A and B are shown apart, each in its own frame.
Chain A
Amino acid sequence: EIVLTQSPGTLSLSPGERATLSCRASQSVSGYLAWYQQKPGQAPRLLIYAASSRATDIPDRFSGSGSGTDFTLTISRLEPEDFAMYYCQQYGRSPPFPFGPGTKVDIK
């Protein structure tokens, strides 16, 4: 079973700064990697699928990269509404489809 790890656990930044979040898989997931944003009291929202494709209505300040076992979510310039939890998730051919433990982006 694939295990996802995310780093850092918490990222403290100021609005306007660049955020770089990492997700590492215990074995290759090819490009079947998604990123979600979750705010308190809300369901997660899909940001990125297939490692680098933005979901519908997601601003272009969000970008994803990587393949195999190492993936990155970059937020080019943090807006106030971007301070939230971020999870990566593996999907594809065979369940289960694990999520990572998350990275919290909070205001410095």
Chain B
Amino acid sequence: EAQLLESGGGLVQPGGSLRLSCAASGFTFINYAMSWVRQAPGKGPEWVAGVNGGSGSSDYADSVRGRFTASRDNSRNTLYLRMNSLRAEDTAVYYCVKDAFKENGLWDAFDIWGRGTMVAVAS
């Protein structure tokens, strides 16, 4: 059974940094693109960043580009999100998500979601 487990969330001051991790199991990690999706309290989900499986190339939402860095370690089956210059509006539950199908040149719908890790940015 495919599973994702996020860690690393917490309370951080504005301007601070945090690194999230996502441990994957139950599937061949390198074969799938992975993404981070966040959800602010009472709001809908927002795609934040994605990382391709084999190449490790990444892409970002405009709201986080230049501040967040997504990466992966395929030898450890782990996805990361480094978040710098955090702002109050980054406060959200951050989910690690898996593409539904093996890489085929397209980004897919997200079939597996972790339980999420809460990030709160406040002084």
Contacts and interface: CB of A to CB of B under 8 A. Distances in A.
A101 interface: yes
Q: Which of under 10, 10 to 19, 20 to 34, or 35 or more describes the interface residues of A?
A: 20 to 34
Interface in B29-58: 35, 44-47, 50
Interface string B97-114: 000100001111111011
A91 B109 contact: yes
B74 to A, nearest CB: 21
Please classify the interface of chain A as helix (H, G, I), strand (E, B), loop, or mixed, using the class held by over half of its residues: loop
B62 to A, nearest CB: 7
Interface in A80-108: 87, 89, 91-93, 95-102
A38 B46 CA distance: 14
A80 B87 CA distance: 39
Contacts of A91: 106-109
A46 interface: yes
B95 interface: yes
Contacts of B45: 36, 44, 87, 89, 99
B47 A96 contact: yes
A38 to B, nearest CB: 8
Top 8 nearest A-B pairs by Cβ distance? A34-B109, A43-B113, A49-B109, A97-B47, A95-B59, A99-B45, A46-B111, A96-B61
Interface of A: 32, 34, 36, 43-46, 49-50, 55-56, 87, 89, 91-93, 95-102
Given A43-B95, A43-B115, A93-B105, 13 more contacts: A32-B106, A43-B114, A44-B113, A46-B111, A89-B47, A89-B110, A91-B109, A92-B106, A92-B107, A95-B59, A96-B61, A98-B46, A102-B44
